[in-house]
């Protein structure tokens, strides 16, 4: 039984059914804009079939229970992963499996048996210790077959249960992956590159054009010289609606009330710690004391070296007498009391040091000598002054620089320092400063703790300072008072200012999001913002999340579709201005081209320069002195030699050009190698594209945001 359970556990939370492609596309699925309705029980629609809340939640609860029975804690993040997995299962059943069935893709018993007895692609089986040869440590087919046949034919309860679990594992893991593999092969084998496509690929990568270009970047016309009216922006938006498509989003302001321990809460823990220190020293049953006091402490029989404990108590612990107590000690919100039970000696010494590293600025001998010279001056300063301050200013060991060069306690031979430095370090006394060269540079080292082999058996009881129910209630009352007195946008702003609260602003929030900037667990706030009755200016009730209370104010509603002008004003204004600049520059270039025979004459008329663009390729969209400009490159590669282009708007400005030459390299007569290369690329992308096509055809609507 244990063998199958280990295999099941190694399968992880998300059972691989249709691969990474399905998991990734579901994350970017377009969400519906329907509002909340207490009578609506539809979690989503997949391929025209509804997903009902009751069925969805039953599946979620079953998987949640299964994970909890395996000892896994199901927090908010895991709960979200479970819901994603269940949603994936629905898509699998209603779209992917249907596609497989229509294509007649199956796995025969022989194929299945050959796979499990040669599990190259299934590490859950291949790497299971129960199926490995004890001598080679490799998967042994005969060992697996013996176990498999025992489960399959056994009639006792243990083997019957083992076989049931194995069949479930095959159904959930092996068979779906084999079917998917066949499907991917079917799709990839159906892709073929024609000779014309290969020639196009050759054209883009190997045909070179030389062109001369003249014109103006959009920045050559100052924005201030081109006025844009509201009417012009509205007309532009109406004429280009597809350029301003948006998904539904909401934006909120929010204030946060942090729930923190009060002085009374802190005093209670200090009182506990002081009493624990006295009682800990008196007790004759250290094991029981550790287990019933503090927060999750356990009796530890091991001996610890220097540097194991917080720096502020480490020295005190190792200088204490056996049976004595050190503390209470406060660090990172926790009060701890340490009892020293005894000491021992390690076979390997430890030593504590700090260093300043000076690296050569080059690889020559002169660079190394210069580094030694700089290090000598730094060491003199370190001996005369504060080593830590100089390390912060001068050390090039960026791991320890911010700590004043502190390396902590190091075990001899542990690899913390180059061997040549370590040898000198262990030959030096505490407080000494020395300089050694290594392959890393010049090390200026200060011995801050003498070498020692002493270890200590120390027991710890600790308690974190946490807020009480009373403190939580006080903060909630503050948040409730603010919310009840801030029912309009103006009241919200004025009350926040009066109370010294910082109004934070969210980015555009999508329907399914679960967090705010630096604030996880904010799903209920986002659901509130998407409620049917919600309007700009609304102020929320008090929400609780992760030791904080939140009161939000809705400042923006964007619906799916073409954006309103107010939502994209800056972008539309810029685009409208560029259109007007384009018309101005086109007219200017067009006039300059009249009667001209060379590109140089046009440039002279415009007061511009001619940009030479040699070796221009369709696949490379960068042009000298112009930058990345796919539109202009495409126009050049599609033009005939010797003819002026009409003024064209490109990505960066407005230009005219003439193609001076085009190389006449012949197309390859043998296309097999190029076809093979492209076919391999196509095959790698085939499965992902197929799933995207299935997604689009299935018309998925995800309403989970209404319920979770």
**Mean pLDDT, residues 54-82 taken together:** 86
Is the model's pLDDT at 668 over the cut of 70?
no
What whole-number distance in Å separates Cα of residue 116 and Cα of residue 113? 5
Tokens of 156: 């006792």
> Can you give the pLDDT at residue 220?
94
**Average of per-residue pLDDT values in the chain:** 87
Is the model's pLDDT at 434 over the cut of 90?
yes
Residue whose structure tokens are 């993040």: 77
173-187, 264-278, 479-493, range with the lowest pLDDT: 173-187
> Can you give the pLDDT at residue 697?
80
* pLDDT interval class at 695 (50, 70, 90): confident
Q: What are the distances in angstroms from CA 605 to CA 212, 214, 598, 611?
A: 16, 11, 11, 15
* pLDDT interval class at 590 (50, 70, 90): very high
> Can you give the pLDDT at residue 466?
94
Q: Which residues are paired to 354 by β-bridges?
A: 406, 446
β-strand pairing of 209-217 with 653-662: antiparallel
- State percent of the chain over pLDDT 70: 89
Tens of pLDDT along 468-500? Answer: 999 999 999 999 999 999 999 999 999 999 999
Crossing angle of helices 230-239 and 569-593, rounded to 10°? 90
Tens of pLDDT along 243-259? Answer: 999 999 999 999 999 99
- State percent of the chain over pLDDT 90: 56
* pLDDT interval class at 39 (50, 70, 90): low
For residues 525, 531, 534, 540, the Cα torsion angle rounded to the nearest 10 degrees is -30
Quick one: 676 exposed, middle or buried, by C-beta within 10 A (0-12, 13-18, 19+)?
A: exposed
What whole-number distance in Å separates Cα of residue 489 and Cα of residue 424? 69
Is the model's pLDDT at 450 over the cut of 80?
yes
> Can you give the pLDDT at residue 537?
94
- For CA atoms 601, 602, 608, 609, give the dihedral sign: negative
For the chain, what percentages of helix, strand and coil (3-state, to nearest 5) are there? 50, 20, 30
Tens of pLDDT along 323-368? Answer: 999 989 999 999 999 999 999 999 999 999 999 999 998 888 888 8
Nearest-CA neighbor of 316 among 295, 296, 336?
Answer: 336
Is the model's pLDDT at 456 over the cut of 50?
yes
Q: Say if residues 330 and 347 touch (Cβ distance below 8 Å).
A: no
**Mean pLDDT, residues 585-594 taken together:** 95
pTM of the model: 0.62
Is the model's pLDDT at 38 over the cut of 90?
no
Is the model's pLDDT at 439 over the cut of 60?
yes
Of the two residues 658 and 122, the one the predictor is more confident about is 658
Q: Which residues are paired to 250 by β-bridges?
A: 509, 557
**Mean pLDDT, residues 566-581 taken together:** 95
Range among 18-27, 142-151, 289-298, 587-596 with highest mean pLDDT value: 587-596
> Can you give the pLDDT at residue 442?
93
* pLDDT interval class at 667 (50, 70, 90): low
> Can you give the pLDDT at residue 552?
96
What whole-number distance in Å separates Cα of residue 637 and Cα of residue 260? 66
Q: Say if residues 7 and 170 touch (Cβ distance below 8 Å).
A: no
Tens of pLDDT along 92-138? Answer: 888 888 888 888 989 999 999 999 898 888 888 888 888 888 888 88
> Can you give the pLDDT at residue 120?
86
Q: Which residues contact 435 (CB under 8 A, 6 or more apart)?
A: 375, 376, 379, 442, 443, 444, 445
Tens of pLDDT along 411-431? Answer: 999 888 999 999 999 999 999
* pLDDT interval class at 7 (50, 70, 90): very low
What whole-number distance in Å separates Cα of residue 330 and Cα of residue 312? 9
Nearest-CA neighbor of 584 among 220, 171, 168?
Answer: 220
* pLDDT interval class at 553 (50, 70, 90): very high
Q: Say if residues 394 and 400 touch (Cβ distance below 8 Å).
A: no
75-84, 271-280, 567-576, 607-616, range with the lowest pLDDT: 75-84
The secondary structure element, H or E, covering residue 682 is helix 672-698
Tokens of 94: 């209603």
What whole-number distance in Å separates Cα of residue 707 and Cα of residue 41? 9
Please, what are the domains in the chain? 2-188 (no CATH), 208-245+569-662 (no CATH), 249-260+469-559 (3.10.50), 261-466 (3.10.50.40)
Range among 3-17, 229-243, 505-519, 655-669 with highest mean pLDDT value: 229-243
> Can you give the pLDDT at residue 17?
33
> Can you give the pLDDT at residue 2?
40
> Can you give the pLDDT at residue 188?
78
Tens of pLDDT along 375-425? Answer: 999 999 999 989 999 999 999 998 999 999 999 999 999 888 999 999 999
Question: Backbone phi, then psi, for 410, in 5-degree steps?
Answer: -125, 140
Residue 304 DSSP one-character state: B
Residue whose structure tokens are 């069925």: 55
Helices of type H across 11-140: 20-27, 53-69, 76-91, 97-103, 109-116, 123-126
> Can you give the pLDDT at residue 23?
37
> Can you give the pLDDT at residue 3?
41
> Can you give the pLDDT at residue 34?
37
């Amino acid at each position: 039984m244990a063998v199958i359970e280990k295999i099941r556990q190694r399968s992880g939370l998300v059972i691989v059914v249709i691969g990474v492609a399905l998991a990734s596309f579901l994350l970017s699925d377009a969400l519906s804009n329907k509002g909340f309705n207490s009578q609506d029980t539809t979690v989503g629609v997949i391929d025209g079939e509804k997903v009902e809340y009751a069925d969805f939640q039953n599946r979620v609860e079953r998987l949640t229970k299964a994970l909890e029975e395996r000892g896994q804690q199901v927090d908010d993040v895991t709960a979200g992963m479970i819901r994603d997995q269940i949603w994936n299962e629905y898509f699998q059943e209603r779209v992917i499996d249907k596609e497989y069935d229509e294509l007649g893709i199956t796995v025969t018993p022989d194929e299945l048996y050959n796979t499990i007895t040669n599990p190259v692609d299934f590490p859950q089986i291949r790497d299971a210790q129960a199926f490995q040869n004890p001598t080679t440590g490799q998967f042994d087919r005969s060992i697996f077959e013996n176990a498999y046949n025992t489960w399959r034919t056994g009639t006792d309860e243990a083997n019957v249960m083992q076989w049931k679990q194995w069949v479930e594992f095959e159904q959930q893991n092996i068979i779906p992956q084999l079917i998917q593999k066949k499907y991917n092969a079917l799709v990839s084998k159906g892709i073929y590159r024609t000779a014309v496509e290969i020639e196009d690929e050759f054209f883009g990568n190997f045909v070179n054009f030389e062109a001369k270009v003249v014109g103006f970047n959009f920045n050559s016309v100052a924005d201030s010289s081109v006025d844009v009216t509201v009417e012009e922006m509205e007309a532009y938006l109406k004429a280009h609606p597809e350029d301003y498509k948006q998904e539904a989003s909401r934006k909120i302001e929010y204030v946060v009330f942090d729930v923190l321990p009060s002085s009374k809460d802190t005093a209670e823990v200090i009182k506990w710690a002081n009493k624990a220190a006295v009682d800990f020293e008196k007790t004759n049953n250290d094991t029981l004391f550790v287990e019933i006091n503090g927060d999750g402490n356990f009796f530890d029989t091991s001996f610890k070296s220097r540097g194991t404990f917080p720096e502020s108590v480490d020295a005190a612990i190792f200088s204490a007498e056996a049976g004595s107590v050190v503390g209470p000690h406060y660090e990172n919100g926790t009060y701890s009391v340490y009892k020293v039970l005894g000491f021992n000696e390690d076979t390997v010494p430890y030593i504590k040091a700090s260093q300043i590293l000076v690296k050569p600025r080059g690889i020559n001998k002169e660079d190394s000598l210069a580094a030694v010279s700089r290090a000598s001056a730094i060491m003199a300063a370190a001996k005369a002054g504060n080593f830590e301050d100089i390390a912060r200013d001068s050390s090039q060991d960026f791991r320890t620089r911010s700590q004043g060069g502190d390396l902590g306690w190091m075990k001899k031979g542990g690899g913390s320092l180059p061997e040549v430095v370590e040898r000198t370090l262990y030959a030096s006394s505490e407080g000494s400063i020395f300089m050694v060269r290594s392959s890393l540079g010049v090390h200026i080292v200060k011995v801050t703790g003498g070498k020692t082999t002493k270890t200590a058996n120390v027991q710890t009881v600790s308690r974190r300072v946490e807020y009480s129910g009373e403190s939580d209630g006080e903060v909630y009352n503050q948040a409730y008072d603010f919310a009840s007195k801030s029912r309009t946008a103006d009241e919200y702003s004025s009350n926040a200012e009066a109370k010294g609260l910082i109004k934070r602003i969210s980015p555009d929030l999508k329907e399914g999001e679960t967090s705010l900037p630096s604030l996880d667990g904010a799903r209920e706030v986002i659901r509130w913002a998407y409620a049917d009755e919600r309007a700009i200016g609304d102020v929320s009730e008090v929400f609780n999340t992760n030791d904080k209370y939140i009161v939000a104010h809705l400042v923006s509603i964007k619906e799916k579709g073409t954006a309103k002008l107010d939502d994209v004003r800056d972008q539309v204004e810029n685009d409208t201005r560029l259109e007007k600049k384009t018309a101005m520059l086109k007219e200017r270039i067009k006039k300059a081209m009249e009667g001209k025979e060379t590109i140089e004459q046009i440039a002279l008329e415009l007061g511009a320069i001619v940009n030479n663009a040699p070796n221009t390729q369709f696949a490379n969209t960068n042009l000298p002195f112009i930058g990345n400009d796919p539109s202009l490159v495409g126009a050049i590669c599609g033009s005939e030699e010797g003819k002026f282009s009409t003024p064209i708007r490109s990505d960066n400005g407005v230009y005219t050009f003439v193609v001076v030459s085009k190389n006449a390299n012949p197309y390859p007569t043998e296309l097999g190698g190029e076809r093979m290369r492209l076919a391999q690329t196509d095959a790698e992308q085939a499965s992902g594209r197929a799933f995207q096509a299935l997604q689009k055809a299935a018309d998925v609507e995800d309403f989970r945001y209404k319920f979770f």
